[in-house]
A and B are shown apart, each in its own frame.
Chain A
């Protein structure tokens, strides 16, 4: 039986880092102050490292520009994208916290239907601290939410759920559409507040957007590599998609859960659809190969840690997707470099060995 927590949500002040990639400025943090100020920020500054990015007063933060990334990772810095928000995953790697929340610098506080400001971070924490239910779909959505439960017919043996590794939030106002859709519907705005959180079932893939995302870094961190995008790469705007597909395959294998739905943020900026089209166009036809690849991907039972899963996945990427384009050979190598860099910066203790059913050894 789901026992919803009636006690207040823990703030996790010292257990959570907020990772923000930016190339412009961090003015948006002023609006988030009531919700973010207690937390430590990791700013990953993309683009020109000589530009000074001002962080609003009162925030505790560390900031990394390209020079810092090169210094810290040395030759392994090649796996971190340049001129693309994919560089944010560097923040995940250097964090020492258990949880990460990442948000784009054009995302603001949204209001719920009653007009109240939405504390997105609090909702992500609730999502991460309550179990997921990937093995059987609950028609009343997240059974651990207050006011909800498992419905009739839901097997009792599945009601404990599994640990939640990822909480994927949504966006009001400018929806996360691809370039062709943006071109066809430039005026469409997402005005529908769907008051639900739900677990994405095992075996089902989804498009993971990095604009409003939280995850348990200890459970799944090494899988959150946002790939090779941007400068010098043939593709952009697929960083979070790539991370999401890898993450979901690994979560399914390790018995971890992925939730989607609340919280909403207000996405204010619609990027230029023509620029987007140029970045995405290879992705649009490559994804036709990528999806069947990920849908069919299986990992051996020897893959008991996220790193082992990820390395095995990288081998499959090289073997099967290398034929689609040599970009994937480069990407597969970068995936390995990422894990090497991760392990160097996070020596043993941070990669807890997980049994396939999700319980820590």
Chain B
């Protein structure tokens, strides 16, 4: 006799039959009938019509029957609220029953009846049960408070149940404590602001005691609760860690991971010199490894968390590479995660092993996995420099297999390797070109085209190769089209004589026949660039690209720190803060790692023990390059954005202009100087079309150099550095000034959020000239919504130095009570010109001769109708001093000197032709022992002279 018999009655009038049976006098028949009802309910049949009949069976001493009726009630009370009232009396009576099992059962079921009318009747019985003598009843009642809160939060607060619940944290029974904590945590989640779980050292002690004695599930609740506590000093943190460590040996993986969370978080407060710190690190590895021998679903969650842990503290698992090796019958989601961690752990010491494994994976069956394995080889090459050569040869081996998707992935990663190690592995290009025809995925095609364009001068038939792609231009994806456009322009600049037709063709394809605005705009920019100033075009298009690094795959440090606080939760599985996905944003409190506070040294002198949620000064001060801030219009290449160097024509390369001249003339044809053919106007030609081309161009470049270097006067007008949308309502604009020997950063802070902002602080990343704030950021009053404050932050140049790219890049972190924000800006170099920069005449001559000619850089400052006197004065006020002046054949030559804050001298020769109004261009030659500054000095000249 099995329960399946309950499903067999499919006759007509089933409900009617059941009704009769439920009202039967025979106990046995009644029970069977209720069982049938429940069975129908479990498979989703609607048996709510039997409500009154089932409730009638509730008055019984048969425990099973009672339980079955309760099951039914919980399911249908919501749909029959009026009927449900009938059950209230029985509940109240059962709560007084001498048997604690019945009392607990009644209070449990009561809470599951989600009917408003009933809840009021339940308050009194619940209050009694919360104080019941039997802990089994108390722990059940604790959960009931959470249930009731879910139905009617106000009622629970009014009745004072929350306080009773808080008292239960000090209960003598560990299970009651655990359930009280669980209930409070759940309630707190819907009340992020309330201080429900206000923990102090006494309550922490209670929890730690209960931790040892309660069930595994209770341990999880308690550990998760402990993780929210902020110990007052490192001694307390250590003692909590010591008591939590035994949980790492628990059989329940959720307990283990929650314990890991507590330890990872409190470890932050321990000094690294402490012996205990080392012990703790050692203890963390084995449990994490053990998690990987569990079922695949557990492994997956564990791996996502380990991914965070190895980024935060790579030392924990650095010797455990082998446990992440992939077994061929692992589920795909486990394989991909293992691979990711293998790359994170890859180092010079283990790279040989890792590569051998990756090569093995590349021959597996699963396509997704194989692709990722091939990519992983590329990432290894970028991460571990010593291994690059082996990686490249492994990739070549894989290309030889001719498996289509392997070849394509290999080409994509080889492109990245070229970006990391330019001019090292180009010998493989020939092999790559052989596989050109087999590429059918856009990303691989784009990568191959990039390679051809970038190394056009080394590939004999580059033009043929690119031409072959051009045939099906319109069928290609945007990615490939953009890449093809850039590659052909590169090719043209490298081999102008043979490729005019090709470039003409691609430009017209891009500008006239395409609906894609990105492609069209890029086409126009190239067109204008080529037609106006081929030399500039060359410098822009063929500019040296910044190297890429493996950092791009890492989680940003502040996010990582936040995620460490969420180990074991969904947030850690998605690698996103809960605010990014928890519904309605309720229950979202930003968590952060505790700052390191040493009890021994500075417990008294640091008054601001950073509160939860406020990142501390200990936070890593390296900020990731915020590439998007540079508003890079001419994003010429794949991968990280390239900052386009401003337009600059060097007379050294003037010869090239002549060479290009002929080609360009024919390219431009009869259209007047660079304006695209008239037909284009249909395709939204730029509005500035009629304006002088040069000004159009400088407009363009004003855009590219974006963040306020070249604009404005001696003191550039403030530009927006940090838009409100990126900084949770805080908008920062500013500029740099230099007055009587002191540099300052003039800032304007605007609060565009709805809440008051306080606790401002600022920090600079290391930069090329050691710029650093000389005083803290003083915002005297809290910044209320829509208020703006202007202030001037004095700077000095004694900070730590690190060469930046570009040289005048400054990365800034600003903190307030809401969060930490990062931005980067470019400062004009002239704020660094010091007052004693005038060099003695003799000295000037000697130095000029002394600096080798290769260090001389020549620039043109266009459209600057100034006379010699005015120019000299303008420059002098910015600490560029005229040492001597000479006039030759209607040209004035100014010899000038300036000195940077770090003691670098720059010597200049400025040629002005005041006699000839048609020649308004100035010519500038700069000589300096550190030639990399010349470019920026030139920019400073231009800024000063034009304003």
Determine if chain A interacts with chain B: no
Residue positions of B touching A, CB distance < 8 A: none
Residue positions of A touching B, CB distance < 8 A: none
